[in-house]
Amino acid sequence: MNKCLKIVFSGTFPEDFFYTFIQKNAKKLNIEGTVQYIEKETVKLMICGAKESIDAFVDLLHKGIAGVNLVDIEIEPQMKDKDYRGVFRVIE
């Protein structure tokens, strides 16, 4: 069963956080989607994949941002509205 989530969080992140942590773990778990800044220090993740992979990614995300100055996090189910073509992209 596939699952899609929209995750929005705010905080101060290392410069290469999108590539070294988010994209690396998304690829490892075979998750497709995008990550991008929507405002200064506010990040939006759109992820889709197998339910087990999405749940594992959310667990990793909570652990990975534990050392970061996190202000807020929102996680909500989302309908897949785009075809990510099996790839996880960083949008700059």
Give the pLDDT confidence of 14-39 residue by residue, as tens digits.
888 888 889 999 999 999 999 999 98
Domain boundaries, the chain: 2-91
Higher pLDDT, 19 or 68: 19
Chosen CATH of 2-91 out of 3.40.50.2300, 3.30.70.100, 1.10.10.10, 3.40.50.1360: 3.30.70.100
Q: Which residues contact 92 (CB under 8 A, 6 or more apart)?
A: 36, 37
Predicted model pTM = 0.88
Per-residue confidence (pLDDT) for residue 6, from 0 to 100: 96
Helices in 1-92 by DSSP H: which ranges?
Answer: 17, 24-28, 51-64
91 pLDDT above the threshold of 80: yes
Which class for 12: exposed (0-12), middle (13-18), buried (19 or more C-beta within 10 A)? Answer: exposed
pLDDT of res. 68: 72
Residue of 75 and 41 predicted with greater confidence: 75
